[in-house]
A and B are shown apart, each in its own frame.
Chain A
Amino acid sequence: SQQGEEDPQALSIQEGENATMNCSYKTSINNLQWYRQNSGRGLVHLILIRSNEREKHSGRLRVTLDTSKKSSSLLITASRAADTASYFCATDSVGSSNTGKLIFGQGTTLQVKP
């Protein structure tokens, strides 16, 4: 069954604007991670946020986590054309044998127009 679901599925913005992507999940988690995937390429790790954390920052990225709502958001500020990519959230669920395997959402496709 699908664990993470991203919203929106696609997002198109102008360079300089902020982009917000949301992720919802179903089961309790140990941590949640965000990844970026450029078209036809591998995944690049962006941020890991643990279940006892509420917010993390990394450069122009800000991630929030609300475990009561089972949701997370990724905010990219002052977007650039190079941010054009697909963004995935991935959860490491409690009870998944604690092996660290990740369950990915369907992704949000972000297009930043120059």
Chain B
Amino acid sequence: NAGVMQNPRHLVRRRGQEARLRCSPMKGHSHVYWYRQLPEEGLKFMVYLQKENIIDESGMPKERFSAEFPKEGPSILRIQQVVRGDSAAYFCASSPLGVGGYEQYFGPGTRLTVT
């Protein structure tokens, strides 16, 4: 029973390029959360998605960031025109239900470095 998969594990982008981060939830989970962790800090919620729907994007920066979770395939977090401040670890988590009281299972993260 594979856990949450994220790829790539490490991603290096130059300023102005696009970054695409992928997350495959655990089997049977249709709820995905994305979090960002800046160096030496805790995780910050970005967006919560169900299949084909964005439910809560209150933590997403207003520009350059977008997320999707298509009917088929992994969830994608997309960052356009990356800047140095986007350098961080991005984690996704999946849950069997998108309500409180359920454990979220985290992937290993994608470490984005913007040069």
Residue of A nearest to B43 (CB): A104
The reply to whether B101 and A31 form a contact with Cβ atoms under 8 Å apart is yes
Residues of chain A contacted by B108 (CB below 8 angstroms)? 41-42
Residues of chain A contacted by B109 (CB below 8 angstroms)? 41-42
Q: Mark B84-115, 1 if CB is under 8 A from A, else 0.
A: 00000001010101111111111111010000
The reply to whether A104 and B44 form a contact with Cβ atoms under 8 Å apart is yes
Residues of chain B contacted by A50 (CB below 8 angstroms)? 101
Residues of chain B contacted by A40 (CB below 8 angstroms)? 111
From known contacts A100-B31, A104-B44, infer whether A30 and B103 are also in contact, taking CB-CB under 8 Å: no
Q: Mark A61-92, 1 if CB is under 8 A from B, else 0.
A: 00000000000000000000000000010101
Closest Cβ of chain B to A90, distance in Å, is 8
The reply to whether A100 and B42 form a contact with Cβ atoms under 8 Å apart is no
Q: Which of A18-63 contact B (CB under 8 A)?
A: 30-31, 33, 35, 40-45, 48, 50
The reply to whether A42 and B42 form a contact with Cβ atoms under 8 Å apart is no
From known contacts A31-B100, A45-B105, infer whether A99 and B55 are also in contact, taking CB-CB under 8 Å: yes
Interface residues on B, range: 20 to 34
Q: Mark A100-114, 1 if CB is under 8 A from B, else 0.
A: 111111110000000
Q: How far is the CA of A32 from the CA of B61 in the complex (A)?
A: 26
Residues of chain B contacted by A33 (CB below 8 angstroms)? 103-104
Residues of chain B contacted by A100 (CB below 8 angstroms)? 31, 33, 48, 95, 97-102, 104
Closest Cβ of chain B to A114, distance in Å, is 25
The reply to whether B106 and A101 form a contact with Cβ atoms under 8 Å apart is no
From known contacts A42-B109, A97-B56, infer whether A103 and B102 are also in contact, taking CB-CB under 8 Å: no
Q: Which residues of B approach A to under 8 Å, CB–CB?
A: 31, 33, 35, 41-45, 48, 55-56, 59, 91, 93, 95, 97-109, 111
